[in-house]
Amino acid sequence: MPEPKGNDVRTLAVRVSPDFHAQLSMVAKVDEMSLVDLMMKALENHVAARREAPDFQAKVQQALEEAEAQMARTKAMLLGTLPDAASTGEAEANTPGRSRRKDETSG
């Protein structure tokens, strides 16, 4: 992962038990690295492993498809190319205050 440039960094606070903190500190000391560097390495390894996992890839694909569909809807709204709601039968269903109560009868 590339190093952030200048002051372009974010702070992430992680709460851990004193015992786990001691373990992390010991691993960092043995590996001759700072606790921050150890945590960055662990996070980088986790992200890399998740990117390779089939379940994660499937979720990413679904999220991308949903984002593309939303973008297409937004584009259609901005360009005025949405299908006419009346022709699709959505006008009545989406009109607020137009629904019938259960006790109303037709005709």
**Structure confidence by residue, pLDDT tens digits, 22-69:** 999 999 999 999 999 999 999 999 999 999 999 999 999 999 999 999
Q: How many H helices and E strands in the chain?
A: 5, 0
Q: Bigger pLDDT: 24 or 4? A: 24
DSSP codes of every residue in 41-66: HHHHHHHHHHHH-HHHHHHHHHHHHH
d(C-alpha 78, C-alpha 28), whole Å? 53
pTM of the model: 0.58
Backbone phi, psi, residue 34, to 5°: -75, 160
Residue 100: predicted pLDDT: 56
Return contacts of 47-51, CB within 8 angstroms, 24+ apart.
none
Instruction: Report whether pLDDT(11) > 70.
Output: yes
Using DSSP, state whether 4 is helix, strand or coil.
Answer: coil
